[in-house]
């Protein structure tokens, strides 16, 4: 195994216990919003890095997209739908932090093994094709549908050799506080190699 592959396995890939814990919490959230909510979702989708197999060990998160049929009392007001979902989560998980997050998601924040663990709960309306989506471009009530399509597209490739390794390395690069230092070291090394003649341009 290469050094980079070993780094991904040892440092970046979540442990089996982490994945097991996260999936158990996903089941709990799913059960609450399916059984204890005044409005039942038409579909529930797991998205993000959990479903795509690209989660980082030190940046644990899971996305849950709750798809509802159009609700007459809510109509086109995403905030009304978000408040309903938020209240159900807040009432059923009083021991952990639940907060509204902008105009797209509700956050559930907890921790696992000294790492932050975040769940994004994204409610949206149902639309079953990109053609139908054209009528709702820019609407928060439908935006999460594209997340579902994006996840379906990427998981087709997650079993390709080193596909998830590369994605995890790229995410680690963007998340790491030392990335700028590493980039500068690489740049200096490359400059030195070319200026000293140890490498030649082609």
Strand 105-112, strand 43-47: pairing: unpaired
Beta bridge partners of 120: 63, 107
Beta bridge mates, 192: none
Distance between CA atoms of 175 and 33, rounded to whole angstroms?
31
Q: What is the pLDDT of residue 104?
A: 75
Name the pTM for this structure.
0.77
What pLDDT does 186 receive? 45
- Domains of the chain in sequence order: 3-196 (3.30.460.10)
Geometric angle at alpha carbon 164, from 167 and 170, rounded to 5°: 15
Which residues lie closer than 8 Å to 113 by C-beta, 6 or more apart?
18
Tens-level pLDDT at each residue, the chain (202 residues): 688 889 899 999 999 999 999 999 999 999 999 999 888 899 999 988 999 999 999 999 999 999 998 877 777 778 888 888 999 999 999 888 888 766 678 999 988 888 889 999 998 888 877 777 777 776 777 878 888 888 888 888 888 888 999 899 888 888 766 555 445 544 554 454 445 554 444 4
CA distance 108 to 96: 7
- Check residue 182 and give its pLDDT: 46
Give Cα 107 distance to the centre of its chain: 12
């Amino acid at each position: 195994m290469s050094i980079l592959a070993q780094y991904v396995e040892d440092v970046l890939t979540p442990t089996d216990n982490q994945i097991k814990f996260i999936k158990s919490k996903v089941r709990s959230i799913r059960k609450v919003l399916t059984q204890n909510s005044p409005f039942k979702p038409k579909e529930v989708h797991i998205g993000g890095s959990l479903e795509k197999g690209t989660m980082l060990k030190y940046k644990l998160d899971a996305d849950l997209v709750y798809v509802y049929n159009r609700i007459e009392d809510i109509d086109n007001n995403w905030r009304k739908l978000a408040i309903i979902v938020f209240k159900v989560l807040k009432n059923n998980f009083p021991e952990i932090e639940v907060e509204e997050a902008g105009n797209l998601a509700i956050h559930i924040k907890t921790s696992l093994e000294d790492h932050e663990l975040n769940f994004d709960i994204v409610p949206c309306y149902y639309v079953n094709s990109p053609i139908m989506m054209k009528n709702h471009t820019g609407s928060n009530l439908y935006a999460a549908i594209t997340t579902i399509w994006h996840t379906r597209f990427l998981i087709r490739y997650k079993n390709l050799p080193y596909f998830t390794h590369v994605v995890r390395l790229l995410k680690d690069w963007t998340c790491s506080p030392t990335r700028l230092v590493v980039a500068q070291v690489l740049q200096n090394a490359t400059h030195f190699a070319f200026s000293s003649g140890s490498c030649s341009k082609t």
